[in-house]
Structure 1
Amino acid sequence: MQIDDGNDGGSCNPPFPIISGRENTVPQFLKTAHDVFDGRISQPWQRDNIYYQLTPTQTTNTYVGGRYLEAITYFRLNNNNPELIFSIMSDQNNSANPDPMRTNQSWERDRTRVPWTDGAFEIGVSVTDNSKTRGNINMAFTFPAAPEELFIFSYESIVRRRGWGITWKRTYWRPKIDGFKGMDFTSTNIDAIKLHIHAWDLTEYSNIWHLDFKEVDVSTEITTKTTNVKKYNTNVSINIPLGEKEKAGLKFGASVEETNTDERNFKWVEGSDELGRIVIPFGDKTVIKNPCDGKLYPRLYNNASITLEMRPVQVEF
């Protein structure tokens, strides 16, 4: 399955979703993490190489803290009805910070109007990483998204007969929302939006993260209780004399993993439009080779509402 992002992907169909052009956003360290395991380890954990510099022959090493961290590098809405999604998202009645709204759909002679008013949506992200030292099971942030960054629109023509007695036809144009656009967050420019989370330290965080997305409407924060199941690798430890974090063994290691269940606080925002949850294990590949062109593409995650990339980015060189 290939996601159609306005480019011709050729006649070959990759066995996983890709977006044409995203192969150009893959940095060398992600290519290295793929190449060191390629053909040598079944279902390798590429983050083992990124965060612990592990290889098929170097299976114990120290954690590279601070050099890399996880980030959302691409975001896009999904649905068969873009008009409906826009209507659902544009329901904020807060006059101080209103959502973009549909403009009056009266007909115009020229194709000059857009289908929405000024402003931006606020997309909220809640990351459940199950930190061992933080009381809340999630950390949250938001980013702005203007309608023109999320939606594609076109114009439909409408022919009307005008005049009395002597009549003539006149063509009018009405804008309509008919598709989605993806937002790229890989720019290193100082003023660019960066959706950085934090490094995936297995001594601190669960080996599975949950990302919940919302279009934030009312900024009333609610705290509730939830019972949460979390899994931690047990083949990671702190070298006491050196104070360094180490991982012994690829993947889970010989000791597999530890599963705990406890009750913690969960924070969320009241009145928001739900965009669904994405589940990301530490062991997921960050890049996947497309057999059609031999290039590496970022792994995509999808639910009924969104498509996104989450992968490590380099912040120290």
Structure 2
Amino acid sequence: MKHKIYYLLILALLFSCKKEIKKENLSPAPASNEKQDAKVIFSKILAIALEKEPNLRLFIKNEALKQFDRDNDVLFQMIKDEKVTTDQTFHQVISKYAKSKEKLDSAINSLPTLTIMVPELPNFTPNNWKTESEVPQVAISPENKNFKDIDLYNSKGELTKIAYGAIPNFPVVVVKENERVNVSVNNIDKSPISATLLRNSTESNQSSFLSKDNMKFIFSNEAFNGMKTSSFNKVNMSSSAKLSLTNDNKISRTVNVNLTNEPNSIDPSVIEAFNINLDWHRDYIYYGLNPNLGINKGKFNNRMIEHIVSIRMKDGNYNRISDQTQDPTVSEQWVQPRPERGGYVTNWTDGYFDIRISILINAKNGAGTQLNKVISAKGSDLYDIKYRTEGIPGRSGSTQLRFDGLTPKDYIINEPIAAWDLQNYGAAWKFIVSEYDPSEEIITTYNESSKFATNFNYELGFEEKVKVGYKFGISLETTSSSTYQYKTTRGSDELGEGILEFGSPIILKKEQYTYSGRNGTVIGYNYITNEVSCGTIYLAIEPRKI
């Protein structure tokens, strides 16, 4: 789930909140030691095969680059029968190096989501892995966050221990279980993996993407489905845009009206609402209200949709989201000492961060709507990382890297939420953000109350209900409450909660700048936009036309 590579890695009067937390363990706990032992058996054999089989290294690289689950993961059950050479499958190739094929197969059967992950490091990534010459060691992901070190094996079966907070400075692949994939089993009592924790899908209406023997595999969230092309993939997994930050930590974006399709552009109607100088920008955007022109009635524009434009961590405290994943590339057994500051990498064996954003929206009929968004991000998507190079004591000519600073940056995602229909939706939305890790499930109950506007009347000229008057008009608003059950896990890192009100400004101010162009001086503008503060993370929420 996270390439938490060593890159390290609201409450307004309109929204009151009461929480009630209860635990719910939905499945029996797996035998952790047995699973770790199974990973050791597989890892030792894989390490030998990687050294002996260049074609295997190339095969794993190419499969990792496909990102079937939007991470650099290779699911064993998905590729075990694929040909690595002209006459041998993946399973056959690695089986050649097993002293006991029965033990190997038993280990594989006990780990239905067994996965090989190729992490991204400054000098070693799936893209730049020189498979003809670079033989990675095999790391075993720890069973939980409470670990002292991580075990790695080379082709000779030699064990290297990487201490907590340190990063190997050589090529590595990671053997782990896949948190982005769930498994269902037919005739489970007869299955050799019946004693293993098999998680039920959180999205039961999903169809399986893979069936093997008596097992069916589905994604734990459709956001992890990298097997289909989507706008999410094109935007969220692309390089993040660098946006300058002002002293008050607001996003500053240069807007060119001729480039409104750029990922970091602001919708023209948002700029128009700011220039009109309305207190409630969304009154203009959704209902066309404009006091400057005497327009105080308007019908709802459902072509405008609220978007999570970007996310940004508050500071360089990478510990808040980190159980990281990373490995570099210098073909020797040096390790990078842990960074001096608090936000160091603690576990580099997982993958991409899974940022989960839940939006709680009160509806007028008393029903609560909860929308869940899952954003995949690498550490380098969220931070600019600086390093300094220094020599390794006792190793002439060899160097190592130390972290020398982290600067949060905006990760452009442009994830749609919903059109803000003020007649039917509450005047404030709640955002709950976490970095997800699979473990024991916890259910938090939220009791949310929200104001509703009542200044809507049926107008003959519009042939439908329209908003009459600015803000809440002269009529009294009503209040309604809803109950939500927010599901998370004990291992997830809660990044905070925030509130966005319909009346919140979208643009805070405009700054003019000039520069010299071919035809003389050019005048441009920076627009400083508002953000939802969730404590340790900021969300930029803006309406856009669809």
1:150 aligns with 2:382: yes
The Cα of 1:210 is off from its aligned counterpart by 0.9
The Cα of 1:161 is off from its aligned counterpart by 4.5
What SS does the corresponding residue of 2:273 show, helix, strand or coil?
Answer: helix
1:264 aligns with 2:483: yes
Q: Which residue of 2 aligns with 1:254?
A: 474
1:305 aligns with 2:498: no
Q: Which residue of 2 aligns with 1:101?
A: 325
The 3 A distance-change label for structure 1 pair 133 and 6 is: closer
The Cα of 1:53 is off from its aligned counterpart by 0.5
Q: 1:31 aligns with which of 266, 271, 285?
A: 271
Q: Tell me if structure 1 keeps the 8 A contact 2:390–2:400.
A: yes
Gaps (5+ residues) in structure 1? 91-99, 109-114, 164-168, 186-193
Q: Which residue of 2 aligns with 1:184?
A: 412
Q: Which residue of 2 aligns with 1:198?
A: 418
Q: Which amino acid aligns with 1:81?
A: N
Q: Which residue of 1 aligns with 2:438?
A: 218
- What does 1:270-281 align with in structure 2 at a 5 Å threshold? 270-271=489-490, 272-281=492-501
- d(CA) in 2 for partners of 1:8 and 1:200? 28
The 3 A distance-change label for structure 1 pair 305 and 63 is: same
1:250-303 alpha-carbon deviations (Å, 9 max, x no partner): 11100142123x452323222321111121110111112235656433222334
The Cα of 1:79 is off from its aligned counterpart by 2.5
Q: Which amino acid aligns with 1:202?
A: L
The 3 A distance-change label for structure 1 pair 242 and 61 is: closer
TM-score normalized with structure 1 length: 0.73
The Cα of 1:101 is off from its aligned counterpart by 2.1
Q: Tell me if structure 2 keeps the 8 A contact 1:22–1:297.
A: no
TM-score normalized with structure 2 length: 0.44
The Cα of 1:155 is off from its aligned counterpart by 2.2
Q: Tell me if structure 1 keeps the 8 A contact 2:446–2:486.
A: no
- d(CA) in 1 for partners of 2:443 and 2:461? 40
Q: Tell me if structure 1 keeps the 8 A contact 2:307–2:544.
A: yes
The Cα of 1:156 is off from its aligned counterpart by 2.5
1:234-253 alpha-carbon deviations (Å, 9 max, x no partner): 11245599762310101110
Q: Which amino acid aligns with 2:543?
A: P
Q: 1:21 aligns with which of 238, 253, 263?
A: 253
Comparing 197-206 with 128-137, greater Cα deviation is found at 128-137
Gaps (5+ residues) in structure 2? 1-241, 257-264, 329-333, 338-344, 514-524
Q: 1:64 aligns with which of 277, 282, 301?
A: 301
What SS does the corresponding residue of 2:271 show, helix, strand or coil?
Answer: helix
Count matched residues.
268
Which has the larger share of helix? 2
Q: Which amino acid aligns with 1:299?
A: N
1:9-44 alpha-carbon deviations (Å, 9 max, x no partner): 6xxx6xx543343545223211111222x2xx5xx1
Q: Which residue of 2 aligns with 1:55?
A: 290
Q: 1:85 aligns with which of 301, 320, 329?
A: 320
Q: Tell me if structure 2 keeps the 8 A contact 1:202–1:236.
A: no
- Larger-gyration structure (1/2): 2
The 3 A distance-change label for structure 1 pair 197 and 8 is: closer
- d(CA) in 1 for partners of 2:439 and 2:362? 24
Q: Which residue of 2 aligns with 1:244?
A: 464
The 3 A distance-change label for structure 1 pair 52 and 73 is: same
Q: Which residue of 2 aligns with 1:75?
A: 311
- What does 1:154-169 align with in structure 2 at a 5 Å threshold? 154-162=386-394
The 3 A distance-change label for structure 1 pair 145 and 238 is: farther
Q: Which amino acid aligns with 1:51?
A: Y
Q: Which amino acid aligns with 2:529?
A: P
